[in-house]
Structure 1
Amino acid sequence: MPTPTTRLADLLAHPQFIRFWLARLAGTTANQMLMVAVAWQMYDLTGSAWDLGLVGLFQFVPALLLTLPAGFVADRLRRNRIFAACLLAQALVSGLLLAATEVGFLTRGLILGVSVVLGMARAFQMPAQQALIPLLVPATLIERAVTLSSSGMQAAIIGGPALGGVLYALGADRVYVACAVLLLLAFVLMLLVRHRHVASTEQIDLTNLFAGVVFVWQNKLLLGATSLDLFAVLLGGATALLPIYARDILHVGPEGLGLLRAAPAVGALAISLVLLRWPMERRVGPRLLAAVALFGVATVVFGLSEHFVLSLLALVVTGAADNISVVMRQTLMQLETPDAIRGRVSAVNSIFIGASNQLGEFESGATAALLGPVGSVVSGGVGTVIIAVAWLRLFPTLAKRDRMYREKPAAV
């Protein structure tokens, strides 16, 4: 049996995965910088928590409508090319926002319009991106590939918002130039990725389109894991309200906003490095539920805090807890799903992720408009803890799952 160190070295020896990893690193960095700039510009233009929530909603709706067709496309076309096209679309958005900022035609409507485009790109990118990993490494390395991919993404989420905040203080145009350059680099790297491709010959009909939904619904382990993440981040996410906390509660400006957005990724990166060396081998289900409960508690602490350092620490804990859920859920999904429908199952997972993030941002903005930002965040954190406890009874298959790998893993 290979040692953990040897298996990690084997993972790094796969050049196609490394190209994928570098492309995702550059693309995620750019996307996070873009989100900082868009959120801050929207709040500068309107000063409205509702409009911050709308940015999330306008990304979520097209993603929701297009993700299932996108999963079918990911099972028919080359997944690296789909990913590359989505990166190029985001680069074009960065160019448009740069022009709008420079010429002076940036408006609330334009920001909401580009949010729709970003949601469409996300709809196609996520299934292709998730379903690509098992084609780049052998099945025995999938857990570590997911963890390493997540650690790279978290490093980008740390650097991206912080860099975006600093560049935004110098001028929003600096952010958009940097985003365009990084996204074009990621686009080229993804075109260079080579992988096995067997195009699906299935006809486009409702049965085949919803095959991923049916598979997840029938697999109660996957249904429990994905729905747990959905409700936890939907209720407990505070990302959309960070501009309000940065400016009105913590009084730290755009540079502080960048640090607040990066803080969860610091915790996520730290736990990723731990999981790379010591992957979860026993008590997978109970640890997943405990991590979600911890996420909720840390969210409550952040919501009540008026001290910048304490707020940063609380967000670090939320990131660490959330990343445990991400790694475990995605690894289980890849191991339990055959490749013929992996794109469509990944699309279902993308819907859950999109709902928990974009729709969660809308929920936070709408709730903040009614209860204030503190009431919105605290009530969401309490709701997350309640969800984690409820899932113990609703999904016993998940709660009792011991090992990540079954004795006879599903075909991949």
Structure 2
Amino acid sequence: MLIDIIAGARPNFMKIAPIIHEIERENKEAGLDISDKNYLQYRLIHTGQHYDRNMSGAFFEQLGIPEPDLNLESGSGSQSEQTGRIMTRYEKVLIDRKSDLCIVVGDVTSTMACSITAKKMGVKIAHVEGGIRSRDWTMPEEINRIATDSITDFFFTTSEVANKNLASEGVKKERIFFVGNTMIDTLLSNLDKLKKPGVFDEKSLKKGDFFVMTLHRPANVDEEKKLKSLIDNIAKGVEGKKIIFPVHPRTKKILDDLGISHENLIYTEPLGYLEFIWLIKHSKAVITDSGGITEETTVLEIPCLTLRDNTERPETVTQGTNELIGTAPEAIVPALKKLMSGNWKSGTVPEKWDGKASKRIVQSIYELLKDGQFKFYEPYVDHILMFKAEN
């Protein structure tokens, strides 16, 4: 049984690491070898969507992931260019040796591209983090989610909200596996391995007395005047406390061109996973437009201000420590005033965000296997039947 595990961009690595560890553990504990029809042999495929060493390679080392079996080296370019390169190169991999299952995670370009290629080659698809929705069609990630889920065979979901989303789209419950959040598996398993980054001592930071910020979404960083206004308001709203800003290469160029600087704003290069989580864990709060970080802050009980109008992870708001501030620069100072006055809400950890999601995924894969073959479900049938019922 050959499983392809796809990793393309930085967030993917935290999600695939515990799945790989669990497959290896299960094979070892079951005493299976490669000759057994239920032995789970995996092939780790790095699409190369993130190609900078700081954005990908270090994660393999820190999270104990083996070097990829294959690197498609898709490199930079527009989304369409990346999609095309990933699809054609993954197709060649499948022509050379077809896998039985393709596991994709999250919602990046690699997720969609490899899903489409696998489906056309007759390979079943499992989507880890399937069913999450922002309802915002201006986000490339939302298009990736919808396209991927429309052809997915097996859904490994993070929340009951995702389950309901899939059910409303006509996906039958026997194809939905509520397993929890593999990113939280990685977080919890690495809490005792976190590393204090050099910037903490270099800038004389104090635990619980600084902010961490990440910005990368086009809605926030592509409009120069808006970006400057966002950062000016943030720098003002934190009342002199230092802000650590690990800068995405794309964003750094824009910031350099604008000459944006504040005495309390500290730029760093992208940090390794263990260093970045150390900063979050010891910060006063996080300011971000990322989705995944809001999950980590929820579990770590760190206040999080999200500069977006919507989220595909609503449980981080309804249950966690996250609040949607929006993208209007003028909304930032009142939100920060609320935080600085000590009036931020407390959060709880969502169901099954307990570090055991990967174990549930591997157990589900075994449940789907019969005599070395996966149970057959036709993804399109559910959607077609639902469409006919509504019309």
TM-score by length of 1: 0.24
TM-score by length of 2: 0.24
User: 1 or 2, which has the higher strand percentage?
Assistant: 2
Ranked by relative contact order (alpha carbons within 8 Å, sequence separation 6 or more), the top structure is 1
User: 1 or 2, which has the higher helix percentage?
Assistant: 1
Question: In terms of Rg, which structure is larger?
Answer: 2
